[in-house]
Structure 1
Amino acid sequence: MSGRVSTRLPDFPWDKLTSYAATARAHPDGIVDLSIGTPVDPTPAVAQDALCAAADSPGYPTTIGLPETRQAAIDWLSRRFGVTGLGLDGVLPVIGSKELIGSMAVHLGIGAGDLIGYPELAYPTYEVGAALAGARSLATDSLTAFGPETPKLLWLNSPSNPTGRVLPVEHLRKVVDWCRERGTILVSDECYLECAWDVQPISVLHPDVCGDSHEGILSVHSLSKRSNLAGYRCAFVAGDPVLVGELLAVRKNLGLQMPGPQQRAMVAALEDDTHVVEQHAVYAARRAKLKEALLHAGFTIDHSEASLYLWSSRGEDCWTTVAALAELGILVAPGAFYGAAGSQHVRIAFTATDERIEAAVARLAGR
């Protein structure tokens, strides 16, 4: 049987970086890959130890997850971000946040003829999820852009990937009210909530945003960035118990279950704040060095008050910037990957090792 490429989905963006990656790898000192925000530092010992201790796991896990896993998520949201009112029925562990984001619309019964909204500059998986569901989609930061039509699902992303922008509480509250008035499901992707530098992000589940109810609202959280657990695929969704129940009912039928050992690792990681503070300091140092080097090299940096990226521009087409940096052995992501509004920006991750960050700084300075 010959292979087929799905025409339902947009092209996978990173395939377009192949030739630029080859150019960067040809640098005498090797590539500095700042294109994807994948963690490179060790997984915290508390998570590794918990995983090992739970390695004898012969039985099937449940889709709903262990009560301890869900309680750890509730306690973390309360302790770190002041979220109140969550119960065990309002939390569901998932196998990495990307899987959830890509399948969310389908699992909530959204399909042909329905409309899904997501930010003007956005993680490509929001669009992929809409395409998989057969729904229409609109990339916009303006609620008025929907006109008289009501979207079935609206995505928020604060802190933003790729821009690092953080939405203020007043804006979040306005969006919550707008969605509730229209019956639109609001899902906030908050995977970078603990990766903030110049501001304090707030969850859409905070009472200052949504009042004393989570009705119609979900938030998505990941341990990939905060705890260097990208390889463990540990994430969860929290919020309206009715919506969580809908997701659970579908996911039970599909056998989408977080493995038991990973659930125990997730509990350990969520209960420990020390490793998060330490990793935050590491990223802060890398960010400061790379930011200074980019500014000295003539870049401007917009937003970037949170997340693990510097949203940077030289006032030219993003692919021209990508090509120029590839000649220096530095690979970055073109802003066009995230929407037409990013055509003059590049997203530069600071998740590389200290040694590779130092190499990028030297090359940007012409050394």
Structure 2
Amino acid sequence: MAAVSSRLPAFPWDKLEPYKATAAAHADGIVDLSVGTPVDPVPAVIRQALVEAADSPGYPTVWGTPALRDALTGWIARRLGAVDAGHRNVLPVVGSKELVAWLPTQLGLGAGDKVAYPRLAYPTYEVGARLAGAEPVVYDDPTELDPAGLKLLWLNSPSNPTGRVLPKDDLVRIVAWAREHGVLVFSDECYLELGWEAEPVSVLHPDVCGGTYEGVVAVHSLSKRSNLAGYRAAFVAGDEAVLGELLQIRKHGGMMTPAPVQAATVAALGDDAHVGEQRARYAARRAALRTALETHGFRIEHSEASLYLWATRDEPCWDTVAHLAELGILVAPGDFYGEAGERFVRVAFTATDERVEAAVKRLG
């Protein structure tokens, strides 16, 4: 058997281990700002829903309960401005990373097909293309790509790692171009509720998609907005023909969101209060870290949304990683996200208030 892993790039986070050890040796302990994993409690309303659904001895359905589908369609209408979306326009998935990694395979892509994603991007877009045997292609502006053989176009706004938000006019232009050339658009919008200096817009908004979901699908996650990374709660919404095909494939593959998690998702999407509270926590941490980094000599670019600061000292990113590790602060090197990030680091503000305060003092 050929090793499928041979198609894939080296797992980047393994390279960070020596710097993590250096940071952990700091007298006051490590401040880990590398992986953007939530650290705050799961809101009580969500935990209660999970507990109440814990007695779930039967198999859940891949499409989710009617209550879940109602919650998904209701949320995309209320929060994204989507119009006339029904149950066939939504599909729960087992965390957004699973969806990103296996989407090209589930779409039947392979040799001769191209999957495009931003030049600076979440590494799993490339991984998904390589798992399927398709060709990964990076872009600065997707409308400048050769559409021949291009089957799947990933958008990511707000961006991971840069926090950049695509303006609505750009989204309109890109969607129109993709439709003209028969290219399927998947828009990763997992940070959409975390806009700071810009208001992110979904591809499902009628101003962008023209009131029809043909050829467009949005990807959303509850990991960041509701502290549910451990629940693996996410969903896709948009083109019913695409989602119908994915539903059939995922039924055969048994890719089911656990029933208690489905119930927790309903509760999470029905409660906006906890999202506002979490945004306030992140806003305070973001402001403190940004000021401290700039005082320390960093320049922050983009970063108008998401959970990260895209920072540079105009030096190779690994030199910056090493410098901060000596201060007990661990960050992600920018080249994890593409060669264009080789002089940047990604700084997450998902640490606790106490750890953020420690980082601010060390940078002072």
TM-score category, normalised to shorter length? over 0.9
Question: Aligned partners of 1:85, 1:217: CA distance in 2, in Å?
Answer: 15
Partner SS, residue 6 of structure 2: coil
Distance 1:186 1:29 in 2: 46
1:172 aligns with 2:171: yes
Report % sequence identity: 64
Deviation at 1:150, TM superposition (A): 4.3
| Displacement of 1:232 | 0.4
Q: Which moved more, 1:136-145 or 1:339-348?
A: 136-145
Q: Distance in 2 between matches of 1:103 and 1:79?
A: 29
1:290–1:361 CA contact under 8 A, matched in 2: yes
- Give runs of aligned pairs for residues 97-176 of structure 1, distance below 5 A: 97-147=96-146, 149-176=148-175
Q: Which has the higher mean CA deviation after the structures are superposed, 183-192 or 6-15? A: 6-15
Residues 176 and 317 of structure 1: is their aligned pair in 2 closer, same or farther, counting only changes over 3 Å?
Answer: same
Partner of 2:308: 309
Q: How does 1:328-343 map to 2 (within 5 A)?
A: 328-343=327-342
Task: Quote the offset at 1:144 in angstroms.
Answer: 4.9
Deviation at 1:149, TM superposition (A): 2.3
Q: Is the contact made by 1:322 and 1:346 (CA closer than 8 Å) also made in structure 2?
A: yes
TM-score, normalised to structure 1's length?
Answer: 0.97
Instruction: Identify the residue that residue 291 of structure 1 maps to in structure 2.
Output: 290
Distance in 2 (CA, whole Å) between partners of 1:10 and 1:84 is: 40
| Count of residues paired in the alignment | 364
**1:239 is aligned to 2:265:** no
- Following the alignment from structure 2 to structure 1, what is the Cα–Cα distance between the partners of residues 73 and 146? 37
Q: Which residue of 1 is the match for residue 58 of structure 2? A: 59
Aligned AA (2:208):
V
More displaced, 144-153 or 109-118?
144-153
Q: Distance in 2 between matches of 1:264 and 1:22?
A: 39
Is the CA contact 1:187–1:218 (under 8 Å) kept in the aligned structure 2?
Answer: yes
Q: Which residue of 2 aligns with 1:323?
A: 322
Change (3 A) 1:32 1:87: same
Deviates more, 1:136-145 or 1:204-213: 136-145
Look up the match of 1:264. Answer: 263
Residues 1:345 and 2:347 aligned together: no
For residue 205 of structure 1, report the CA deviation from its aligned partner: 0.5
Deviation string 1:261-283 (CA, Å, 9 cap, x unpaired) is 00000000000000000000010
Residue by residue, what CA displacement relative to the aligned partner does 1:206-241 show, whole Å, maximum 9, x if unpaired?
A: 000000100011100000000000000000000000
Give the TM-score normalised by the residue count of structure 2.
0.98
Contact conserved, 1:150 with 1:182, CA < 8 A, in 2?
Answer: no
CA contact (8 A) 1:165 1:303 kept: yes
Query: 2:360 is matched with which residue?
Result: 361
2:46 is equivalent to residue 47 of structure 1: yes
Question: Could you say what secondary structure the match of 2:287 adopts?
Answer: helix
Distance 1:151 1:246 in 2: 19
- Give a deviation string over 1:94-122, Cα, whole Å, max 9, x none: 10000001001110111111011000100
SS at match of 1:131: helix
Amino acid at match of 2:224: K
Match in the other structure for 1:280? 279
**Unmatched tracts of structure 1, length 5 or more:** none
1:143 is displaced (CA, Å) by 2.8
Gaps of 5+ in 2: none
Deviations 1:132-169, CA, capped at 9 Å, x for gaps: 00000111122354235241000000000000000011
- Does residue 15 of structure 2 align to residue 16 of structure 1? yes
Instruction: State the alpha-carbon separation in 1 of the partners of residues 281 and 327 from structure 2.
Output: 24
SS at match of 1:83: coil
Other structure's SS at 1:6 match: helix
Partner amino acid, structure 1, of 2:254: G
What is the CA distance between 1:67 and its match in structure 2?
1.2
AA aligned opposite 2:170: H
Distance in 1, Cα, partners of 2:305 & 2:211? 27
Aligned-partner Cα distance in 2 for 1:6–1:58? 35
Kindly state the Cα deviation for residue 53 of structure 1 after the two structures are TM-superposed: 0.2
> Residues 285 and 362 (structure 1 numbering): CA distance in 2 closer, same or farther, change over 3 Å?
same
Moved over 4 A (4+): none
Please say if 1:91 is aligned against 2:90.
Answer: yes
8 Å Cα contact 2:143/2:177 also seen in 1: no
Q: Is the 8 A contact 2:147 2:181 kept in 1?
A: no
Structure 2 CA distance for aligned equivalents of residues 13 and 343 of structure 1: 14
Contact kept, 8 Å, 2:80 with 2:204, in 1: the verdict is no
The one-letter amino acid paired with 1:262 is: V
- How far the C-alpha of 1:85 sits from its partner, in A, is 2.0
CA–CA distance in 2 between the matches of 1:306 and 1:148? 30
Deviations 1:294-340 (A, max 9, x none): 00000000000000000000000000000000000000000000001
Q: Give, in whole Å, the separation in 1 of the partners of 2:232 and 2:321.
A: 30
